[in-house]
Amino acid sequence: MSCGAPHHCDEVLGRLYTFLDSELDTASAEEIQRHLDECAPCLEQAAVGRMVKQLVARSCACEPAPDEVRLRVVQRITEVRVTYRYESP
């Protein structure tokens, strides 16, 4: 099941981690949740994002990562997401 609107998927995926971190206003969060409820590929990406957040939380429970490490991780996640988006059928 897909929403059939890839431009909207790009917007949702671009704000996914902000959504997962509960850093969006209520209206924006509800809009993204509605999209996830209707779009299986984006819902799958959200599940992966939640899993990554859980793994990082378990691995970094004792102290926060340095800013440069956090930046590298975010950049790599973005690269993987872009690669996945362009290689997906």
Per the model's pLDDT, the better-predicted residue between 79 and 31 turns out to be: 31
- Determine the pLDDT at residue 52: 87
At position 63, the amino acid (one-letter code) is E
- How far apart (Å, rounded) are the C-alpha atoms in residues 56 and 60? 6
pLDDT in tens, 8-59: 898 898 899 999 999 999 999 999 999 999 999 999 999 999 998 888 877 7
Neighbours of 1 (CB within 10 A): 9
Reply yes or no on whether the pLDDT at 1 is more than 50. Answer: no
Q: Where are the domains of the chain?
A: 6-87
Give yes or no for a contact between 24 and 18, defined as CB atoms under 8 angstroms apart.
yes
Rounded to two decimals, what is the model's pTM?
0.60
Cβ-defined contacts of 21-27 (< 8 Å, 24+): 21/53
Reply yes or no on whether the pLDDT at 79 is more than 50. Answer: yes
